[in-house]
Structure 1
């Protein structure tokens, strides 16, 4: 038995090491799909700021509204800005050819981006833009070098003058124990309308929504999983009692 466990652990260790080391310096982000308010705010940010260029064509408006507890009328009035119907896929009206001519390549669909890149990468990327006049849109990204995407939320989040501090531990003053120099930017090229902490929270909500969007069934699986574990626990008790009854006469 010990030999079998050793073999299993040896097989798993390279996979774990690869998963842990593949992201580089990233800020940690723990999704919370039970936070419906966060998901609703994320849906609003996504619709207002991302869906001008990016589609989510593997998801439907109706499914999102149902899962996030948003009434149909409210969703249609505030989160659908095209002539799309409530039950349709979340597509955009921009032709791919036109998008490619503007951005150099057609903006990707974002339905599965959180599953492909992971929430840590996405959360860090959204907060990692900085000024770079050598780039076509005047910005670069500390997580995705030579990015072709403009900083869509520059008015809200501002723009760092230099590459921001991503994936770095906060420095603590040993004499006071207070965190010092914790701002993501040492200097701002453009100051946003939001405070840095407020913008970080908004990007958390957006990332949280995109994690949901990549796997909506995850919410149901977690909810059902609780009942499955309870059933297994109760079944184990009865199975144990039945087994003891079977072997009572033998022992």
Structure 2
């Protein structure tokens, strides 16, 4: 136990540094916005699912939850040709993916829980041109990122904004944001909205029954309140006879 406590305390500074390394923007997603979820699913399947799977959910379940007809799901959002009831896996062999990217692209079913929606929202809006990287881009939220900027056609070209800071007694330039050239298919506001739709879809993927659970929770709390009232009245009636 003593060694465990020491190890946890030793990691705290690193955790604090990692969490404070980049300012995260608030992702005001809405799981009840079905149009946003549908657009997020479309964007994810077209731009992200080529490398990343969401293998802990099924096509038919997503179609039902998001109000997408199964024939539309199969024709427009299923690019692997599997049955509608199959899991949503990508078609890249893991060995090839590891060779191309240095490591297999992670499954993203639970990424909104692991990273947080604010991190995802900021990360997808923080790529910038960096010729020193294998794919020619870097990221202010995830330095030395190992994936290409797949949404660049939508956002357009980006450059990094640098700020001079003193670290360990030396002045160094650190990335503090990006500048968008404005040559993408979407305007900056439209791109932010599209990214928010993707984040909304990934938040749904990480917890598909969240809204249902919350609705059920209100009924449970209401039942407990009513039960408490009757229980209290019963208690008073019982102890009145005892005394």
Cα distance in 2 between the residues matched to 1:73 and 1:99: 30
**1:173 counterpart residue number:** none
Please say if residues 158 and 190 of structure 1, whose CA atoms lie closer than 8 Å, have aligned partners that are also in contact: yes
CA change 1:155–1:95 in 2 (3 A) is same
Mapped pair 1:194 → 2:192: no
**1:111 counterpart residue number:** 109
**1:86 counterpart residue number:** 84
**2:50 counterpart residue number:** 52
Please say if residues 135 and 146 of structure 1, whose CA atoms lie closer than 8 Å, have aligned partners that are also in contact: yes
**1:124 counterpart residue number:** 122
CA change 1:135–1:189 in 2 (3 A) is farther
Shift of 1:97: 1.8
**2:195 counterpart residue number:** 203
The structure with more strand, counted as a fraction of residues: 2
Cα distance in 2 between the residues matched to 1:219 and 1:23: 32
Cα distance in 1 between the residues matched to 2:218 and 2:34: 19
Structure 1 gap segments, 5+ residues each: 1-13, 166-183
Cα distance in 2 between the residues matched to 1:37 and 1:226: 25
Please say if residues 31 and 211 of structure 2, whose CA atoms lie closer than 8 Å, have aligned partners that are also in contact: yes
CA change 1:190–1:149 in 2 (3 A) is farther
SS at match of 1:64: helix
SS at match of 1:162: strand
- Which one of the candidate residues 227, 233, 242 is aligned to 2:219? 227
CA change 1:23–1:244 in 2 (3 A) is farther
Cα distance in 2 between the residues matched to 1:44 and 1:132: 28
- C-alpha root-mean-square deviation of aligned residues, in Å? 2.6
**1:147 counterpart residue number:** 145
TM-score relative to the length of structure 1: 0.78
SS at match of 1:161: strand
Please say if residues 155 and 192 of structure 1, whose CA atoms lie closer than 8 Å, have aligned partners that are also in contact: yes
**2:96 counterpart residue number:** 98
Mapped pair 1:39 → 2:31: no
